[in-house]
Amino acid sequence: METTDNTLKEMQQQMQLLKDKLAKQTIVNEQIMRNAIAKGLKSIRTKAAIPYFAGLAAILCCPSFYNLGCSLGFLIYSELMIVFCLGATWYTNCQIPKMDEDLLTAAGHLTRFKKIHAEWLKIGIPLLMVWLGWLIMDLFRSVDMSGAEVYALMAGIGVGLIIGLAAGLKGRRGLKGGAPELG
């Protein structure tokens, strides 16, 4: 009978030791996940700051379009579009999770950020297409250019579109892989 009691006590001690080890293992795994997520989020926050600088530069450069012969309506549209885009970028970036939250809440915020970021293209691309069309229309309407100048302008716009598209796609790919998926 005593042997059975000792065996039972020994099994209970081993079970408690195993529970303690598993509890420590869970904490280590959670800490590793937090560190990995924090690293990915730092990269996302760094990339998310770029549009603010680009928007500020665009706001400062907009008046120079007036010197090229663009209409006042185009300049007002440009300024309002940039301010709207900066506001939307700020709202989107507010959805980037903070790591002082529990992992489930952070995962929810990260999912919401990615969804809003993806949905933004449905608004941003049409705004950009209207802006670009208006710019081309204003430039061709108001500026007396020779054939070579028209081709040079179109080549510059085309190269700018290609570079912007490549940068945008690279940035989107970086945001998709920037933080590990949670769930």
Give tens-digit pLDDT for 87-106. Answer: 988 888 887 777 666 777 77
Confidence category of residue 61, pLDDT binned at 50, 70, 90: confident
- Do 153 and 146 touch, CB atoms closer than 8 A? no
Query: Which DSSP letter does residue 1 get?
Result: -
Q: Chain-wide mean pLDDT for the chain?
A: 77
Residue 83 CB neighbours (<10 A): 12
Q: Which of 51, 167, 101 is nearest to 110 (CA)?
A: 101
This prediction has a pTM of 0.63
Write b or e for each residue in 27-53: b if 16 or more Cβ atoms lie within 10 A of its Cβ, otherwise e: eeeeeeeeeebeebbeebeeebeebee
Question: Distance (Å, rounded) from C-alpha 40 to C-alpha 110?
Answer: 11
**Residue 63, CA distances (Å) to 70, 77, 107, 171 in order:** 9, 12, 42, 28
For the chain, first and last CA: distance in Å?
50
Token duo for residue 147? 């054939």
Question: What confidence tens digit (pLDDT) does each residue in 152-173 have?
Answer: 877 888 898 888 888 877 766 6
* For residue 144, pLDDT beyond 60: yes
Which tens digit of pLDDT belongs to each residue from 4-23?
Answer: 677 777 878 888 888 777 67
Position 182 scores a pLDDT of 40
Average the pLDDT over each of 24-28, 89-93, 139-143, 153-157 and give the range with the smallest value: 24-28
Q: Tell me the two tokens of residue 57.
A: 């530069």
pLDDT above 90 as % of the chain? 4
pLDDT at site 84? 92
